[in-house]
Amino acid sequence: MEKVTVIIPNYNGEKFLKECLKSLKKQKDHFKVIIVDNDSQDGSVGFIKKCYPDFILIENKENLGFAAAVNQGIKASRSKYVFLLNNDVELEIDCISSLLKCIEEDKSIFSVSSKMVQYNDRNKIDDAGDEYTLLGWTKRVGYGKSTDLYNQKREIFSACAGAALYRKSIIDEIGFFDENFFAYMEDVDISYRARIYGYKCLYCPQAVVYHIGSGSSGSRYNEYKIKLAARNNVYVPYKNMPWPQLAVNSVFLLFGYFIKYLFFFRQGQGSTYLNGLKEGFNSFKKIEKVKYQNNNFTNYLKVEWFLIKNTLKFIFL
């Protein structure tokens, strides 16, 4: 049985799949591939069936979103690890083997994030691991900076699910990706949950991928993405913080929402961001909170310290 199952959610990504799947075929390790198609209308399904009949294809009748698609793939897998991969990514030849080497160093490692490099400028970082702050912001570490600055393995708050390896036994323990998120921030949410349970995430600089970015949604700042991300920025703290911690952090979170509103207001998208926040506050009760357990108290303190450090880094660096 293969150690790894590669899971690729796809929505109208035919123009990206050729390079992505070709680079998968060049990998050194043996693995299964599951592609979950969210009712693509661009010929993706026909391309996969014709050119990659050995890959497992799950066809949805509607667009269920990123979280639901990867959950389908995870549940269909039988491997020890799952490698979640965006369709607009090209892998270096030893990417998966490097991720495996890293995650197998310690059983407390939940996920390992790749070194994501900008596809069209391969001297610049796209994402060297994600950090989460008291302001409710997620920071893509290294974005736009030289790839030479991020060659050291380190602990991160969350792996970017665009190219990350996850330990399936921990997913079985803490729960799958929250499908209420649909897309965006679901990887931060599941990593936050893993930290509550005492697990950690790492960044692996030897595992290199080239990422086009926003291949399915269209652009970095579009109305669809802004609204969803704003809503999910409300969901993450509500779901993962017990009420006392949420009360303490609420001032910082509200300040963070206000600053983000000003940012999008200047771009003429302030109303879109506010609509996302409103949807989040109006619907957060449907989100099932992570059940507080006294034996995890130390982990909550560690998470809070992580949030404080990340916030200070964001402000002063």
pLDDT of the residue at 220: 64
pLDDT of the residue at 290: 96
What parts of the chain have a pLDDT lower than 50?
217
pLDDT of the residue at 316: 74
pLDDT of the residue at 213: 81
- Largest CA-CA distance found in the chain, in angstroms, rounded: 55
Fold classification of 4-211 is Spore Coat Polysaccharide Biosynthesis Protein SpsA; Chain A (3.90.550)
Residue intervals in the chain for CATH 3.90.550.10: 4-211
pLDDT of the residue at 216: 53
